[in-house]
Amino acid sequence: MTQVSDGILQKIEQDRQRRRLDHLVHGKTAIPFEAYLDLFRSWFAFFSRSPLLGKYLSFLEVNLSRANLSRLSPKDLLGYQVLGACGSAAIFGFLSGSVELVLISFGAGLALPVVWLGDKAQKRERELLRELPNALEVFALCSEAGLSLEQSMEQYLKNAKPGALRDEVAKIVDQTRSGSSRKKAFVSVTEKLNLTDFSLFTTSVIQAERFGTGIAKTLQQLSLTIRDKQSQRAEKAVQEMPVKLLFPLIFCIMPVTFLIIFGPVLLQFLGPR
């Protein structure tokens, strides 16, 4: 019995040393519940050939790319979904004993990681689009000073604050340094982002390179165009705000208001005389 326990402890220590070595060599970030994810990956191999599951994993992969969560794989996120669904169902089932509440908590635990991922991706995209016009102006100024577009991007990386756009520009610069063409680098990043404004940036750069037009004026005009589009989107969001507030106003605020105002009157009428 002692030999068996010693062997188990030795395997655990070896696995821990391996993880530390991977972290030091590859710079991997620790993932919560990583031991559970390793177990889930081995168990998931039995169900990985399902076409429906393959489409769902592709959907998760697209959203992980949008959120720039390269340390997570679609299987990892699916593992968190299973863990959240089973954990919440077990907790609420133990506390309440209600089958309906167990089903509701199971669905909520299954959907929560996907909702979190979508929210993170949208926040990153909004940050990227907000910083894009400023970056285009910097590229245009550097190009007017005689620098190439790649050198303009390098100057931007030296002075820009850490953020979503800085990460994407760094990817383009890294690809061009490694020998990739400018067009291929831009198209690669644009396909992962799938944002209209960034696609306009890529198209403008490719067209300017193809026809030999001045990149500075093109980027300056594109910056003004994107700012106008952002102003229009902001005005549209402000105009849609009353419609979006209508549902919580009718079903959440007004019933409470009527209850506070007319509740004492109803109690007087319904009370003992």
The pair phi, psi for residue 119, each rounded to 5°, is -65, -40
The domain spans of the chain are: 33-124, 125-232
**Model confidence, pTM:** 0.72
pLDDT in the model for residue 24: 47
What is the topology classification, in CATH, of domain 125-232? Receptor-associated Protein (1.20.81)
Q: Which residues of 66-96 are buried (b: 16+ CB within 10 A; e: fewer)?
A: bbbbeebbbbbbbbbbbbbbeebbeebbeee
Residue 196's pLDDT band, with cuts at 50, 70 and 90, is confident
| Average pLDDT, rounded, for the chain | 82
- The residue ranking higher by pLDDT, 42 or 219, is 219
- With the CA atoms of 142, 147, 150 and 153 taken in that order, what torsion angle do they form, in degrees rounded to the nearest 10? -20
Query: Tens digit of pLDDT for each residue in 85-130?
Result: 988 998 888 887 788 888 999 999 999 999 999 999 999 999 999 9
pLDDT in the model for residue 17: 61
Cβ neighbours of residue 249 closer than 8 Å, sequence gap 6 or more: none
First to last CA, the chain: 80
pLDDT in the model for residue 119: 93
pLDDT in the model for residue 123: 93
Query: Tens digit of pLDDT for each residue in 153-166?
Result: 999 998 888 889 99
Residue 49 has which token pair?
């050939």
Helices 99-144 and 164-177: crossing angle in degrees, nearest 10, is: 60
Average of pLDDT values for 62-66?
88
pLDDT in the model for residue 233: 85
- Residue 80 pLDDT > 50: yes
